[in-house]
Chains A and B, each alone.
Chain A
Amino acid sequence: MNELASLGVILLLALLAGHVVKFLRIPEVTGYLLAGVLLGPSGAGMVSHEVLVSLQVFSEVALGLILFSIGSVFEAMRFRRVGRGIVVLTGTESLLTAILVTAGLLVVGQPLTVALLLGAIAMGTGVASTLMVMRECNAAGPLTEALGGVIALNNIFCLTAFLTVAAGLDLAHHVAETGVGWTVIYRTIYPVVWQLLGSAALGFVVGVLLASWASKVAEHGEMLILLVGAILLAVGVAQVLELSPLIATLAVGATMVNLSRESRRLFEALAQTDPPLYAIFFVIAGADLNLSLLPSLGLIGLVYVAGRIAGKLLGTIVGARRAGLEPVVRRNLGLATLSQAGLAIGLLLTVDRRFPELAPVVTTVVLAAVTVFELVGPLAARFALTRAGEARPQPPPTGLVD
């Protein structure tokens, strides 16, 4: 089947899956993902790997828009109010997850390098699927507020930790091989600083552009074109400059929400138009899941999955207590942060390029674990939101409420 036919089938199946999941009482995102599994190489094989690769651009746009939405949690006034607590909470849960995964892998005899890389990768929570569940549940309340902040921050922490670990491993390798020199230090430190600072700077520049232009745009359609254009620009330039599209698009959202009076209109325009794009995104993500990897999970994979679940559950309990958040957050946040996808897969590419000798183990474990977490995570997130009493199934007319 060619790209267009595949895209048509993806959209129709996503619609069908959306109806079916209502009967099965599972999250829409799980339905999309399962529809993708059915369509993709792991299932009926109607959508080939090549077509998936060529449809990747939709995923990039959708992920960029999702992260842009998430960026709005960094609104200065709100962040001043809840920011410290969220930073403490996210820091604790991320650190504990990394420690438990790393320690577990060391116990089962993995080398320190593999354990550290997997520990860092385990920190991130899947932004897209978690946000989708929050949206479907029309969730509101302290747990929802905390969850939005946590998924934005822990991906930044995850990327920072990964880059730091990678730099450390690189440095150790160079020191053992050629001795330490300025060039070596420069080459090691540069990616960390560049990816974090450069991505934020790029996002800020695009955000300022977007904010200043948005004030001159009146129509809903034009607003959407402006937004998609800005997101594509941010993602594309980030790719060219080897920056992080994730941080760049988050920064666009954060800049927009702080600088523009039009941000609310922009987010409304987005919310009204994006469902088909998200449906495509999740069906493609599902089709990319490789179920045949599951048996290869093995002991290392099980330790990774168990360590990550334990880290997230324990970390959010400890973190929420330290941050003085409500008991409802403490009890439920861990379950809501289990999803894992985009960033983890993106980091695998970096592992493959920078540490080819470690890539086989790391890639197999993470891809298999992503399959587990993407299928279980949304279910757990919805369960957590429902248990916390923050799910309100009837969506408002515009999809955006105060």
Chain B
Amino acid sequence: MTHQTQPSTNGPSPARPSGRYIAVLLGGALLILVVGAVLRPGAERVSTVATSELATLPERSQRRELRDIADYVSQRAASLASFVVYLPASRASAVVLGKDSVLSAALPPRPPAVLVSQSSGDSSLSPPRGTVDDLSPHWALVVARAPDGRVLQLAGLTGGVIPVLCDELALHELAFGAPVPEPFAGGGVFDLDGNLLALAMPCAGHVALVPLADVATALERQASLAFRLWTRLGVRVAPIDSTRAEARVAGSGLMVAETLVGGPADLAGLWPGDVIVGTTAGPVAIASDLEPILSGSAPGRLELHRGRGGAILRIVPDSAPPARQGIVESDPRDGPIVGMVAAGSGAGRAGLRTGDRIVQIGQVRWPTTAAVSRVLAGGRAQFVVYEREGRRRGLVLP
């Protein structure tokens, strides 16, 4: 240490303050800290508006003063915030779709996934839906909530959609003028008229603004076999390569292309290069032969060829397949009506009730009774719009 930073005295100093003096000072310091912490004003400005984007707004708006425009955007965000809640369980924002249901496009740790959860949202109204197929630039607001309930807002120009690959899912995202920070995950994207356009969804290392239609697509794709194999067993399979020695030994089977570190397949000891040749339900030739393990109808035993030998591994899928969720009845005038919802089922937890009229499943409007029946039979997560007491609401059946 240098001269200037050391105490100049060595040993006891005659000028040390007395204990009483120190105690008074200490009391004063503690008082300052306590009073200061108590009197802290709440955060007032939590806006993270991209100002570079705001700067171009005057060209597209009637308002000329940047401050007026910023205020206008902030006011819009504040009014739209009633449609957005924070879900502590999934540590993400969600959009209120009705009194009892919210929709979030962020469910860690394995995004993208869509979640419906019960929530006591402030608003019993769901925001009107808008479309995003227009390529001309429009202003949009991404509104989310921070864990402490503060409103986060981000304004930017959007124009059309661009394809994006979110892990396994080929989706579209809104072209947006500013990068969307991570805390916005699960938030809603609104136009300045207050229409809900998209949800902010974690996607391949960034937050993508995925249009509502694609949120439904994401759900359908999540129900695909390859996706379920990856998410529930943590394994990607491929047809065996006939040039490989293992394949000649195996005859037929499925090659393990990749395993998710820490996933069920990895934990069971499955390695890339292993060839799955059978389950207790029979030989394996194509991916759907693994369906019995996924559905739980067969125990998770896999027969393998590994190198020149064989092995039998036990694998436990991540979670049980959804049980039958309800029964549908058909009303000759109004289409399919929910007849009964199984207590504790995903549909029940999602808020579907007896008497709700299903008006849309995924992207299909006015579905047939059979289609609703298939959805309620479970196994495929679906975005559902239903009508109750003359009002339309949406939810996702897990």
Could you list which residues of chain A lie within 8 angstroms of chain B, going by C-beta atoms? 69-70, 72-73, 75-78, 131, 134-135, 138-140, 144-145, 147-149, 176-177, 186-187, 190, 193-194, 197-198, 200-202, 204-205, 208, 241-242, 257-259, 261, 263-264, 267-268, 270-271, 354, 356-357, 359-360, 399-402
Contacts and interface: CB of A to CB of B under 8 A. Distances in A.
A324 to B, nearest CB: 19
B6 A72 contact: yes
Interface stretch (B26-34, B82-90, B94-102, B188-196): B26-34
B242 interface: no
Contact of B1 (A187, A270, A357): A270
B1 A259 contact: no
Among B10, B36, B39, max chain A CB count under 10 A is at: B36
Interface in B1-52: 1-13, 15-17, 22, 25-26, 28-30, 32-33, 36-37, 39-41, 44-45, 47-49, 51-52
Given A72-B7, A148-B4, A177-B67, A354 B45 contact: yes
Which 4 pairs across A and B sit closest by C-beta, in order of nearness?
A148-B4, A201-B29, A271-B1, A201-B32
B340 to A, nearest CB: 51
A197 B32 contact: yes
A267 B32 contact: no
Nearest to B4: A148
Given A201-B33, A205-B30, A134 B22 contact: no
Contact of A258 (B4, B17, B28, B52): B17
A397 to B, nearest CB: 13
A140 B2 contact: yes
A194 B17 contact: no
Interface residues of B, number: 40
A69 B5 CA distance: 6
B13 A261 contact: yes
B6 A400 contact: yes
A261 B71 CA distance: 57
A400 B6 CA distance: 8
A360 B52 contact: yes
Contact of A264 (B6, B47, B49): B6
B32 A135 contact: no
Contacts of A78: 8
A267 B30 contact: no
Among B7, B12, B13, B45, max chain A CB count under 10 A is at: B7
The dominant DSSP class at the A interface is helix
Given A194-B36, A198-B33, A261-B12, A356 B3 contact: no
A259 B33 contact: no
A400 B5 CA distance: 9
Contacts of B3: 139-140, 144-145, 148, 401-402
Contacts of A197: 32, 36
A77 B5 CA distance: 14
Given A201-B32, A204-B26, A208-B22, A241 B37 contact: yes
A135 B33 contact: no
A77 B67 contact: no
Given A131-B2, A261-B16, A267-B5, A402 B10 contact: yes
B4 A144 contact: yes
20 contacts: A76-B15, A78-B8, A131-B5, A134-B5, A135-B1, A138-B2, A144-B4, A148-B2, A148-B5, A149-B4, A177-B71, A198-B32, A201-B33, A201-B36, A202-B33, A259-B17, A267-B1, A356-B47, A400-B1, A402-B8
A75 B30 CA distance: 22
A399 B47 CA distance: 49
A261 B10 CA distance: 8
B12 A145 contact: no
Contacts of B45: 354
Contacts of A270: 1
Contacts of A75: 7-9
B8 to A, nearest CB: 5
A270 B2 CA distance: 12
Interface in B193-216: none
B7 A264 contact: yes
Among B10, B16, B17, B47, max chain A CB count under 10 A is at: B16
Interface string B49-90: 101101000000000001100010000000000000000000
Among B6, B10, B11, max chain A CB count under 10 A is at: B6
Nearest to A191: B41
Among B2, B40, B67, max chain A CB count under 10 A is at: B2
A112 B28 CA distance: 38
Interface in B216-247: none
Contacts of A242: 40
Given A187-B41, A190-B39, 11 more contacts: A72-B6, A77-B13, A134-B2, A134-B5, A135-B1, A197-B32, A205-B30, A261-B13, A261-B16, A264-B7, A360-B51
A80 to B, nearest CB: 9
Nearest to A186: B41
Nearest to B10: A264
Contact of A69 (B1, B33, B36, B51): B1
B264 to A, nearest CB: 26
Given A77-B15, A202-B33, A402-B10, A72 B5 contact: yes
A190 B44 CA distance: 13
A190 B13 contact: no
Contacts of A138: 2
A135 B12 CA distance: 26
Nearest to B70: A357
Contacts of B16: 258-259, 261
B25 to A, nearest CB: 7
A356 B48 contact: yes
A131 B6 CA distance: 12
B111 to A, nearest CB: 19
A271 B7 CA distance: 13
A9 to B, nearest CB: 25
A133 B244 CA distance: 64
B205 to A, nearest CB: 11
A257 B1 contact: no
Contacts of A201: 28-30, 32-33, 36
Contacts of B33: 198, 201-202, 205, 241
A241 B54 CA distance: 32
B288 to A, nearest CB: 39
A194 B6 contact: no
A257 B49 CA distance: 46
Contacts of A193: 36
